[in-house]
Structure 1
Amino acid sequence: MVLDLSELSHFSGAGISLLCILDEDCRAAGVQWALVASPAVVEQLGGRCDQGEHESMFPMARSVHKALHDLADAIDRRRQLVLPLISRSA
Structure 2
Amino acid sequence: MSTSEKIKGGLQEVGGKIKEGVGRVTKNERLRQEGIADQEEGQARQDVADAENAVQGNVNEIKGRVKSTVGAARNDNAQEAEGKLDELKGKIQKKVSNL
Q: Which has the higher strand share?
A: 1
Band of TM-score, shorter chain: 0.3 to 0.5
* TM-score in terms of structure 1 length: 0.34
Higher normalized contact order (CA 8 Å, seq sep 6+, divided by chain length): 1
Higher-Rg structure is: 2
- TM superposition score normalised by structure 2: 0.32
